[in-house]
Amino acid sequence: MKDVTAIVLAAGMGTRMKSATPKVLHRIAGRPLIEFPVRAALELGVACVVVVTSGNPDIDASLKAAFGDQVTTAVQDPPRGTGDAARVGLAQVKTDRVLVFCGDTPLVTVQDLETLVAASREADLAMLSAEPSDPTGYGRVLRAPDGRVLEIREHKDLRTDAERATREVNAGLYAGKTRELVAAVAELQPMNAQGELYLTDVVASVAARGRVVALTGSPDTLVGVNDRAQLREAEELLYERIRVRLGRQGVLVRGDARIDDTVTVAPGAEIEAGVRLRGATSVGADCRIDVGSVLTDVTLGAGVNVKPYSVMAQSRVGDRAEIGPFSHLRPESEIEAEAHLGNFVETKKTRMRRGAKANHLAYLGDADIGERANVGAGTIVCNYDGFQKHRTVVGAEAFIGSDSQLVAPVTVGKGAFVASGTTVTEDVPDDALAIARVRQENKAGKAALLRTRLAEAARQAKAKKG
Ligand code: UD1
Ligand code: CA
């Protein structure tokens, strides 16, 4: 493939997206659209990848961030059609052969590109076609009675019902000799419904003097993203492809779980329906992520058990930890091995050291909870005074009784015991018992008296109303 340059066309306006964001930067399965075709070209091992863009600095920045120097860009401004875009790209090509395709077809596979380039070595031009159930909107491949490819005619330029009935459509991928394409592109005229230079017209001009082959690619390769309905369709196909790929790698993905292309999952993991794994998430071996959990940029060690409906972002969880159901890990939570977070526990910038537990109803923000410490139900770390955030430190094996508040900044020492219902405002030394609540009084027989008084008050209120 070292004699081939890939040109990816991505300078179109993308008006059908109805968005201020350039079409090729719309995200699909966790990556900007443009990354999929570029990745396929790089995986193919071509000498060089040239992306034709509108010069939008966001596109350049996105490509730089993802691919560094592996990709160069060429600017087409204004966008005068796919043929003009190809001309701009071709001006940068130094290899004998080129592969030209659209930046809005994210399902293109390396196999398709490989087949196309191989076929182009036996012909003057090779292109991919497909037969979708509904050809509306695509350019049609028109052939002579003997099957030779004659031309591609765009949907808007079809003239007869017979042409419109043609099922074979242009997938938008072409490969051939650089010299041949440069010559064909130079001849293009904007004589069509859109007044643009159509790259598709090179097919007729090469066919007039040589041989064009149209190969049938996999049907998905065709799926182009022009509007958001097609984006959704392409994304669903990508998610299914990812589920199948993970299945082959030893990961069980059930139902409609959606795992972004950016996520890594180790073998042995089980992911239930309704789960979303996003961004730079990585899941260790033998983890189980139950129904409805949403993880964004989270690293899970091995054997982590995430129970249903847990939401986590920008956090790390150690081996064999247990999270959920209904836990909320906000950014910079560090849950170490074998720690437990139960239902309705929220953490933020908090480290739960090895084996620490907070099993029910708690808020732990800006805290460091020691090894094997136990945080009781209803515990709240009061980390914010309305102006600043303050830290709370709980020592190893400390016990925080239920319904306590830890008013930060505060430290509870190792092995200390905080009695339930205590508001901790001062540091608790190691091994001390802290208790701060009003002493209980029991008044004998007063319950009945209180009830009589309350019933009488209710009777009087009712009489007044009526
Ligand atoms: C194009 C093909 C059509 C094919 C379909 C497959 C043409 C004229 N038509 O139609 O035969 O069935 O793809 O998906 O080629 N672009 C530029 N500069 C421009 C215009 C477009 O770089 O001036 C880029 C776009 O960013 C896009 C790609 O070229 O990535 C295709 O353009 P688009 O307008 O989407 O073409 P289609 O109407 O889909
Ligand atoms: Ca398109």
> At residue 68, does pLDDT exceed 90?
yes
Determine which residue's CA is closest to atom 21 belonging to ligand 1. 12
What's the pLDDT at 191? 87
160 alpha carbon to ligand 2 midpoint, in Å? Answer: 23
Residues above pLDDT 70, as percent of the chain? 100
Distance of CA 465 to the CA centre of its chain: 61
Q: How confident is the model at residue 192 (pLDDT cuts 50, 70, 90)?
A: confident
What is the per-residue pLDDT for 13? 86
Per-residue model confidence (pLDDT) at position 217: 82
Average pLDDT for residues 166-174, to the nearest whole number?
95
Q: How far apart are CA 344 and CA 381, in angstroms?
A: 14
Choose the catalytic residue: 155, 328, 340, 360: 360
The ligand 1 atom at the shortest distance from the C-alpha of residue 224 is: 14
Interval 320-349 mean pLDDT: 98
* Residue 103 alpha carbon to ligand 2 centre in Å: 8
What is the reported pLDDT for 155?
Answer: 93
Note the ligand closest to the C-alpha atom of 87: 1
Rounded to whole angstroms, how far apart are CA atoms 406 and 253?
A: 41
For ligand 1, the distance from its centroid to the CA atom of residue 224, given in whole angstroms, is 9
Q: Which two tokens stand for residue 99?
A: 């592969």
For ligand 2, the distance from its centroid to the CA atom of residue 300, given in whole angstroms, is 38
User: What is the pLDDT averaged over residues 169-174?
Assistant: 96
pLDDT tens-digit readout, 346-361: 999 999 999 999 999 9
CA atoms of 138 and 346, how far apart (whole Å): 50
> pTM surpassing 0.85?
yes
Q: How confident is the model at residue 222 (pLDDT cuts 50, 70, 90)?
A: confident
As given in the structure block, the two tokens for residue 161 are 């019902």
The ligand placed nearest to the CA atom of residue 168 is 1
The Cα 86–Cα 42 span in angstroms is 19
Could you give the CA distance from residue 325 to residue 300 in angstroms, rounded to a whole number? 16
Query: Taking CB atoms and a 6 Å cutoff, what residues make up the pocket around ligand 1?
Result: 9-12, 52, 76, 79-82, 84-85, 102-105, 138-139, 152, 154, 169-172, 198-200, 224, 226
Distance from Cα 198 to the centre of ligand 2, integer Å:
12
Q: Whose CA is closest to 149, among 110, 109, 104, 207?
A: 207
Query: What is d(CA 345, CA 243) in angstroms, rounded to the nearest whole number?
Result: 30
pLDDT at position 1 is 86
The pLDDT of 159-171, averaged and rounded, is: 92
Q: What is the structure's pLDDT at 466?
A: 82
- Taking the CA of 107 as reference, the closest ligand is 1
Mean pLDDT score across all residues of the chain: 96
Q: What is the pLDDT of residue 233?
A: 95
**Ligand 2 mean position, distance from CA 51 (Å):** 15
At 372, the amino acid letter reads R
Ligand closest to the CA atom of residue 84: 1
pLDDT digits over 89-120, tens only? 999 999 999 999 999 999 999 999 999 999 99
Cα 355 vs. chain centroid, distance in angstroms? Answer: 31
Tallying the residues shown for the chain, one arrives at 466
Ligand 1, pocket-test mutation among 75, 102, 203, most atoms within 8 A of CB: 102
Q: Which atom of ligand 1 is nearest to the CA of 171?
A: 6
446 falls in which pLDDT band (50, 70, 90)? very high
Q: What is the pLDDT of residue 398?
A: 98
Mutate to test the pocket of ligand 1, among 51, 82, 142, 192 (most ligand atoms within 8 A of CB): 82
| pLDDT the model gives residue 311 | 98
Q: Whose alpha carbon is nearest atom 36 of ligand 1? A: 82
Cβ-contact 56, 49 below 8 angstroms: no
User: Which pLDDT band, with edges at 50, 70 and 90, does 464 fall under?
Assistant: very high
Tell me the helices (H) and strands (E) count for the chain, helix number first. 10, 39
Q: Is the pLDDT of residue 220 over 90?
A: no
E strands in 333-384: 334-335, 340-348, 351-352, 357-365, 367-369, 374-375, 380-382
pLDDT grade for 221, boundaries at 50, 70 and 90: confident
Q: Is the pLDDT of residue 219 over 90?
A: no
At 75 the pLDDT is 97
Clarify whether 26 is annotated catalytic: no
Ligand 1 atom index nearest CA of 10: 26
Least confident of 13-22, 232-241, 294-303: 13-22
Residue 73: per-residue pLDDT: 97
CB 25 within 8 A of CB 62: yes
Provide, rounded to the nearest whole percent, the portion of the chain with pLDDT above 90.
94
